[in-house]
Amino acid sequence: MPDPQKTDFRSNTLFYTDMENSAIIAIQKLVKRFPMGQGEFTALRGVDLTIRKGEFTGLIGPSGSGKTTLLNIVGSLDVPSEGEVRVLDKSIGSLSAAEAARLRKGSLGFIFQSYNLLAVHTVYENVEFPLLLLKLPSEERKRMVMDALEWVGLTGKIKSKPPQLSGGECQRVAIARAMVKRPSLVLADEPTANLDAANSHHILQTMRKLNAELGTTFLFATHDDKVISYLRRKIYLLDGKIDKDEVVLQSASNA
């Protein structure tokens, strides 16, 4: 006869181990200070946050609340002043510059407000760029670029250059570029800030589809109600601290 006490204990242990393993971002007591004049400005004042694989979540808050600062640290573009930030099991504060670059290149995708496309290169070349850094063979690159352009509905524009595209199309190229290597985690900072409502909804639907089909984890920084309405979890920041953290119950209207 198995001892029920023991069985329970073991299954609980397994459960917690699984939960820990599925955390893609684990942040404890994060403080970020910037030098300012003779003193310092504290942009993040003790943030604790866990985000699991496959979440579609966002940092919400007014301008200056610390959203970009937090996203940049998670993206290994900046380092904590205090506390521990683990992303895909790497401690951001202790990575060398080369290790941080390897993490970004291999596992992270970035989408910015300002697209950051290369204007003299074609749509195809812009999307291919992250794959050149990974030194993949050209046939494989081609397949991956065409897949990514198909996800965002831009296979008809592969030879166009960014100045010939609308803002919405540029952001779709930026999404394809962020997604082409199928990263585990995509960080999107105010991705709809330069888009009209129709284009905002289109790119948000595209990202939700990629989240559902590829299991990609998305973390947004936003104060746009359109973005907020698509999130499955809403993390509110106020003055560098988490004010509220809400999981959205799934319903027919936001499924």
Residues in contact with ligand ADP by the rule CB under 6 A: 34, 36, 41, 43, 61, 63-69, 221
The vertex-42 CA angle with 41 and 45, nearest 5°, equals 170
The answer to whether 206 contacts Mg ion (rule: CB under 5 A) is no
**Nearest-approach distance from CB 235 to ligand ADP, in angstroms:** 12
**Nearest-approach distance from CB 133 to ligand ADP, in angstroms:** 26
**Nearest-approach distance from CB 114 to Mg ion, in angstroms:** 12
- Phi and psi at 201, nearest 5°, equal -65, -40
Q: Which long-range contacts (CB under 8 A, 24 or more apart) does 101-105 make?
A: 103/76, 104/75, 104/76, 104/77, 105/130, 105/133, 105/134
**Nearest-approach distance from CB 37 to ligand ADP, in angstroms:** 10
Of 55-74, which residues contact Mg ion (CB under 5 A)? 67-68
Nearer to ligand ADP, 112 or 129 (CB): 112
Could you tell me which residues come within 8 angstroms of residue 69 by beta carbon, excluding any fewer than 6 positions away? 32, 43, 44, 78, 240
- Distance separating alpha carbons of residues 62 and 41, to the nearest angstrom: 17
Site string for Mg ion, 79-118 (x = CB under 5 A): ----------------------------------------
- Distance separating alpha carbons of residues 206 and 63, to the nearest angstrom: 26
Nearer to Mg ion, 144 or 174 (CB): 174
